[in-house]
Amino acid sequence: MYWLPLLVNRLIWLVPTIFGLTTLIFVLSRVVPIDPAVLIAGENASLEQIQEVRSRFGLDEPLPSQFVRYLASIVRGDLGTSLYTQTPILDELKARLPATIELTAVSLAIAGAIGIPTGVICGVHYNSWLDHVLRVVVVASVGVTHFWLAIQLQIIFSMKLGWLPLAGRFEGTMPYPFTGLLVVDSFMAGDWRSLGSALQHLGLPALTIGLPTAAIVQRFTRNSVISMMNSPSIAYQQAMGFSRRIIVWKYLLRSSLAATVALFGLTAGIMLAGVVAVETVFDWPGMGNYAVRSIMYSDYNAVMGFTIFAGTVFAVLSVVVDLVQVMIDPRGAT
């Protein structure tokens, strides 16, 4: 149970983190030059109707009172109602969450499958021609924006080659929603046609997010491997007569993975920003697409709800990453 004190400590820090995020978002929503009462009542509403809306939603109360009331609703799990769709924001986010989770999970898998092995190769063959070539690729990949890469992949693989769908998440009859994750649901139902459709639609958006992230993972893994190669523990393994392959894959890789797992937690925020852009380009029905639509319609309630929900998910993910890191290397349990 060496991880239990770490878990308790991280959960305690979740409360002030979410409170600070809520406070910041609430203040920003009140300083923007948009009158929420006018948005709710409509452009052609009379002054009496606008004032009625203010009274109904408590917008005529002092800001501290509004904040306390909003904070109480957050504690109850109520993120408010969308000004555009007039539906509970939490319900819409929960309905779109599986699509975002599926896209993010596949993107992380691509980033890890490419970034970790190539990072280890670069670290082991430090300053070789292969290391230099891959480092150039890394620098080029990090400088590419998700928005531009998404459009280029659409042009090449959808419009010119016709290999993968241009946009959307699925075609045909949806499988029974066991989990909301189409790949998992199709596999559980044994529907291979649906599974193929889900994977095809995942291909381009997951590559758009996964490739730049893989470059970051590769660079971080490379530096970690180089650091470990010069450590006394690796020198001891070499003195004991262990082969290079055993040292790399049994000792070096495991020690480097702890730092790489921490990197996944640090890049989660970057990936979340990428998801927002990628879901918009590929018309992916996830939370990022919902956030962009809410911004376009000046639905400040939905924007606040998305930000708080996404921030909470990111904070919880950070706790999970810390626990996984400690499980890989228990020496980090502090």
Spell out the domain ranges in the chain: 91-284
Q: Can you give the pTM of this predicted structure?
A: 0.79
DSSP assignments along 118-133, one per residue: HHHHHHHTTTSHHHHH
State in words which class domain 91-284 has: mainly alpha
What are the Cα distances from residue 178, in Å, to 64, 97, 100, 172, 175? 43, 14, 16, 17, 8
In the structure, what pLDDT confidence band is assigned to residue 218 with cuts at 50, 70 and 90?
A: confident
The residue written with tokens 């971080």 in the block is 220
More confident residue, 203 or 298: 203
Predicted confidence (pLDDT) at residue 234 exceeds the cutoff of 80? no
Question: pLDDT tens across 238-258, in order?
Answer: 676 666 666 666 666 666 666
- Angle 89-124/287-296 helices, nearest 10 degrees? 120
Cα(210)–Cα(223) distance, rounded to whole angstroms? 20
Cα(18)–Cα(13) distance, rounded to whole angstroms? 9
Share of the chain above pLDDT 70, in %: 75
Predicted confidence (pLDDT) at residue 100 exceeds the cutoff of 70? yes
Cα(331)–Cα(277) distance, rounded to whole angstroms? 38
Share of the chain above pLDDT 90, in %: 1
57 contacts: CB under 8 Å, gap ≥ 6:
36, 37, 40
> In this predicted structure, what is the pLDDT of residue 48?
76
CB 300 within 8 A of CB 34: yes
In the structure, what pLDDT confidence band is assigned to residue 33 with cuts at 50, 70 and 90?
A: low
> In this predicted structure, what is the pLDDT of residue 181?
85
Predicted confidence (pLDDT) at residue 332 exceeds the cutoff of 60? no
- Average pLDDT of the chain is 78
Count helices and strands (H / E) in the chain. Answer: 15, 0
Displacement of CA 91 from its chain's centroid (Å): 19
Single out the residue of 131, 138, 133, 271 nearest to residue 209, CA to CA.
271
Strand segments (E) across the chain: none
Question: Token pair of 153, please?
Answer: 């992949």
In the structure, what pLDDT confidence band is assigned to residue 88 with cuts at 50, 70 and 90?
A: confident
Q: What residue type is assigned to position 41 of the chain?
A: A
39 contacts: CB under 8 Å, gap ≥ 6:
83, 298, 299, 300
Cα(216)–Cα(262) distance, rounded to whole angstroms? 12
CB 202 within 8 A of CB 106: yes
Q: Give the burial string for 130-140 (b: 16+ CB within 10 Å, else e).
A: ebeebbeebee
Strand segments (E) across 178-238: none
Cα(314)–Cα(102) distance, rounded to whole angstroms? 15
Cα(170)–Cα(157) distance, rounded to whole angstroms? 17
The residue written with tokens 């109602």 in the block is 81
> In this predicted structure, what is the pLDDT of residue 24?
83
Displacement of CA 228 from its chain's centroid (Å): 29
Predicted confidence (pLDDT) at residue 53 exceeds the cutoff of 60? yes
Question: Token pair of 166, please?
Answer: 């241009």
Q: Which helix (H) or strand (E) holds 69?
A: helix 63-75
